[in-house]
Structure 1
Amino acid sequence: MTEKNTNQASDMKKKQDAQQEVDGLGRRKFIKNTGLVLGGVIGGSLFGGLITNNLKSEPASTDTNEENDGKDARIFFNRKEDFDVLKAAVERIYPEDDNGPGAIWLGVPYFIDRQLAGEFGQNGKDYMQGPFKDIHNTERYQSRLNRGDMMLEGLRAMNQVSLKKHDKRFHEIEGEQQDEILKAFEEGKEKMRGASSKSFFQLLRQMTIEGAYADPLYGGNRDMMGWKMREFPGPRPAYINDIESEEFVKQDPISLKDYQP
Structure 2
Amino acid sequence: MNRREALFSLGAMTAAGAAVASGQAGAEVMRGIPAATGITPDHLPRPITRGGFQVLTDEKDQRLLAAVFDRLIPADDNGPSATEAGCLDFLDRQLAGDYGAGAALYLEGPLNRQNDEAIMRQPQFLATPRARYESGLKALEAYAQKEDGKAFADLAPERIDAILEGLEAGTVSLGSDVDGQAFFELMLQNAREGYLADPIYGGNKGMAGWKMMGFPGARYDYRPYIDRRGEDLGLTPVSLIPND
Q: Structures share a fold, TM > 0.5?
A: yes
Query: Is 1:173–2:155 an aligned residue pair?
Result: yes
Who is 2:237 aligned against?
253
Larger of the two Rg values belongs to structure: 1
Contact 2:73 2:82 (C-alpha < 8 Å) held by counterparts: yes
**Equivalent position SS for 1:128:** coil
8 A Cα contact 1:154 1:192, kept in partner: no
User: 2:101 pairs with 103, 122, 134, which one?
Assistant: 122
Shift, 1:84, TM fit: 0.9
Q: Which has the higher contact order (CA 8 A, sep 6+)?
A: 2
| Cα distance in structure 1, aligned partners of 2:190 and 2:227 | 37
Aligned residue type for 2:196: Y
Write the distance in 2 (CA, Å) between the matches of 1:114 and 1:193: 29
How many percent identity over aligned positions? Answer: 32
CA-to-partner distance for each residue in 1:131-173, whole Å, 9 max, x for gaps?
Answer: 1122336544511211011112112211111111211100001
Deviations along 1:201-243, one digit per CA (max 9) or x if unpaired, are: 1110000000000000100000001101111100211245556
| Cα pair 2:139 2:178 within 8 Å, conserved | no
Structure 2 equivalent of residue 43 of structure 1: 43
Does structure 1 residue 134 correspond to structure 2 residue 118?
Answer: no
Q: Alpha-carbon deviation of 1:126?
A: 1.8
CA distance in 2, matches of 1:141, 1:197: 12
TM-score, length of structure 1 as denominator length: 0.70
4+ long deviations beyond 2 Å: 39-44, 135-141, 191-195, 239-249
CA distance in 2, matches of 1:42, 1:160: 45
Report the counterpart of residue 203 of structure 2 in structure 1: 220
Aligned to 1:99: 78
TM-aligned CA deviation for residue 86 of structure 1: 0.6
In the alignment, structure 1 residue 182 sits paired with structure 2 residue 192: no
CA drift at 1:41:
10
**1:90, 1:103 within 8 Å by CA — same for their partners in 2?**
yes
User: Within 2, Cα distance between the matches of 1:104 and 1:205?
Assistant: 13
Query: Quick check: 2:95–2:129 contact (8 Å CA) kept in 1?
Result: yes
Q: In 2, distance between residues paired with 1:168 and 1:99?
A: 32
Deviation at 1:72, TM superposition (A): 3.1
AA in 1 matched with 2:88: P
2:201 matched to 1:199? no
Q: CA 1:239–1:78 in structure 2 vs 1: closer, same or farther (change >3 Å)? A: closer
Matched, 1:233 2:212: no
RMSD of aligned Cα (Å): 2.8
TM-score, normalised to structure 2, is 0.75
